Amino acid sequence: MEDFAEVTYNGKTFKLPVTTGTENEKAMDIATLRSASGLITLDSGFKNTGATKSSITFLDGEKGILKYRGYAIEDLAEKSSFMEVSHLLIHGHLPNKTELESFNNNIKKHTLVHEDMRKFFDAYPSKAHPMGVVASLVCSLSTFYPESQNPNRSKEETMLTIYRLMGKMPTISAWAYKNLVGHPRVYPTNKLDYAANFLNMMFDLPSQKYELNAAVVKALDMLLILHADHEQNCSTSTVRIVGSSQANLYSSISAGVVALWGPLHGGANQAVIEMLEKIQKDGGNVEKWIQKAKDKNDPFRLMGFGHRVYKNFDPRAKIIKKACDDVLKELGVQDPLIDIAKSLEEVALSDDYFKERNLYPNVDFYSGIIYKALGIPTEMFTVMFALGRLPGWISQWQEMIGNNEPIGRPRQIYIGDIDKKYVPIEKR
């Protein structure tokens, strides 16, 4: 039986088809509403607007559920690897051994960046924020591979771009860090796996060989899995919308990196650690900072709390909180910031302000503490998020292109001046 919703306006009723997803979510399709009734829909921040039908990621914010292509995040985080998850997102299914090996090898073939790119790193100021460097250099990759600008590329050409992005992003990211600290750059080592190679490029020094620690590599790999996709968030929507104009994939991903940078999105992980350090310096009075977060005249917000979609515990935050305890124990690190984070969480979760608004810790609340324990500096936290999100952005872009989605172009209601007469400058 056809499902539909009715909208009545000016005495006329319009029937709008209702679409149901495989997890039983429902949407009223308003594509014909304007031509039939003259009405558009208005939804600032797209809080209740579905931009697409997608088969990549499902999340239920009320129940705290997250799945990539039908697999529970808890299972993937515990049992799989970032490369398996990347294959799952990009190719649509979990790889068998041969597929995984070939996927890995294809990526490893492209870990080097063109030597000319070194000049860009030399030109950045030494204190350049790594996110600015990564965003620009990912976009710059398109200038090294001009064929990527052809919107009618073949499937093979697209896959080559995808392997290049997956291979080069860790190199660019680690070199952005080396730039920040003024250390010599380390070239990729293809016998190492994805996370291990990245850590080696970050921390190996001519004066001191970096010793890989299996627990550190595993923790990083899991963090990448947890960040790999999150349906139509700000940066992913940006990638899809930029890509919808047929801009090349490098530029679309670069736009995603920039969108991720803001403190209300991926930049929150850096903001959380900065907040915890501030609270620590201020004497560690958690109650005082909770009051500040509740005060509408105070711009302070509890960073790492609240989420546009989760109105329950972010399932990724649960996994990271446990991993955080395990990693700190394994590495023998004692970080007073974790005690501050735990008391903030405890006080906030029992406070009416946070309860009424369903504000729970999100993925960023504990991730910074693990990154810090792994030796990754604060300015690199959002880059770590971007590294993890890369396969998700890629698969969302592939889906958008594969569906032949039209160029993204919202409408508006104009509320400015009307019919003003031009006055020459000398008479104003």
Residues near ligand ACO (CB under 6 A) are 45, 264-266, 268, 293, 301-308, 357, 359, 362-364
Which ranges in 350-380 belong to alpha helices (H)? 352-356, 364-373
Any idea what DSSP says for residue 211? Answer: P
Annotation marks residue 307 as catalytic: yes
Any idea what DSSP says for residue 380? Answer: G
Question: Which of 133, 359 has the CB closer to ligand ACO?
Answer: 359
User: Rounded to the nearest whole angstrom, what is the least distance from the CB of residue 100 to ligand ACO in the complex?
Assistant: 28
DSSP 328-341: HHHHT---HHHHHH
Using CB positions, name the residue nearest to ligand ACO. Answer: 306
DSSP 5-32: EEEEETTEEEEEEEEE-TT--EEE--TT
- Which tokens is 196 given? 């291990």
User: Rounded to the nearest whole angstrom, what is the least distance from the CB of residue 213 to ligand ACO in the complex?
Assistant: 27
Nearest in space to 194 (alpha carbons), one of 164, 215, 224, 236? 224
Question: Which of 250, 365 has the CB closer to ligand ACO?
Answer: 365
Nearest in space to 166 (alpha carbons), one of 228, 117, 121, 216? 228
Annotation marks residue 93 as catalytic: no
User: Rounded to the nearest whole angstrom, what is the least distance from the CB of residue 349 to ligand ACO in the complex?
Assistant: 13
**65, 341, 413 from 366: Cα distances, Å:** 18, 8, 40
- CA dist 386 and 183 (Å) reads 22
- CA dist 224 and 189 (Å) reads 19
282, 364, 417, 419: the active-site residue: 364
87, 129, 227, 307: the active-site residue: 307
Beta bridge partners of 58: 67
User: Rounded to the nearest whole angstrom, what is the least distance from the CB of residue 365 to ligand ACO in the complex?
Assistant: 7
Question: Which of 103, 305 has the CB closer to ligand ACO?
Answer: 305
- CA dist 146 and 217 (Å) reads 35
Question: Which of 296, 421 has the CB closer to ligand ACO?
Answer: 296
- CA dist 177 and 170 (Å) reads 11
User: Rounded to the nearest whole angstrom, what is the least distance from the CB of residue 245 to ligand ACO in the complex?
Assistant: 24
Question: Which of 107, 303 has the CB closer to ligand ACO?
Answer: 303
- CA dist 292 and 224 (Å) reads 33
| C-beta of residue 148 within 8 angstroms of C-beta of residue 161 | yes
User: Rounded to the nearest whole angstrom, what is the least distance from the CB of residue 200 to ligand ACO in the complex?
Assistant: 27
Question: Which of 117, 320 has the CB closer to ligand ACO?
Answer: 320
Positions marked catalytic? 307, 364
